[in-house]
Structure 1
Amino acid sequence: MRRITGGTARERVARHLRTLRAEQGLSQESLAEKSELHRTYVGSIERCERNVSLDNVEALAAALGVDISDLLAPLELNR
């Protein structure tokens, strides 16, 4: 059974970013390069350590080839 949860915006971006990056076989470093951000910054976003700006969320979405709304979508939890 799947349960939908809002989660915080920071948690949603982190989870979707990590999942999409992994699905595309990208390292944090390669995603950072494609989005013109620093590799440690990308890692800190994925660990929910940063309050990322919309400009940077947009840059990450573009680098992943998805719409910015995909990174902010509600989370689905398996239960």
Structure 2
Amino acid sequence: MLRNRVKELRARHDLTQNDLAKRIGATRQTVGMIEKGDYAPSVTLALKIAETFTVPLEEVFWLEKGEEE
């Protein structure tokens, strides 16, 4: 299962879901679904998110080991 720290990083950078969505070219709903783990973003979108927070991709997204997908 794909895990992420998008909500944590977004809060740390004082961004709303809408702010982040505008920066990455997505909708607020998409950001919300990513944060909940209900949507796995494309590689391009994941890279845009990591770039927005100026952190490596692996600090935002990772695969949870030991769980079946």
TM-score interval (norm. to shorter): 0.7 to 0.9
- Higher-Rg member (1/2): 1
Q: Give the C-alpha shift of residue 73 in structure 1.
A: 5.0
Match 2:37 to one of 42, 48, 58: 48
Match 1:38 to one of 27, 30, 36: 27
**Counting helix residues as a fraction of each chain, which structure ranks higher?**
1
Q: CA RMSD in A?
A: 1.8
SS at 2:33's partner residue? helix
Matched-pair identity in % = 25
Runs (5+) with no aligned partner, structure 2: 65-69
Runs (5+) with no aligned partner, structure 1: 1-7
* 2:20 maps to amino acid: L
Q: Give the C-alpha shift of residue 51 in structure 1.
A: 2.1
In structure 1, what is the equivalent of residue 67 of structure 2? none
In structure 1, what is the equivalent of residue 59 of structure 2? 70
Contact persistence 1:35–1:62 (CA under 8 A): no
In structure 2, what is the equivalent of residue 61 of structure 1? 50
In structure 2, what is the equivalent of residue 19 of structure 1? 8
Aligned length: 64
Greater shift, 22-31 or 60-69, is seen at 60-69
What TM-score results when the alignment is normalised by the length of structure 2?
Answer: 0.78
What TM-score results when the alignment is normalised by the length of structure 1?
Answer: 0.70
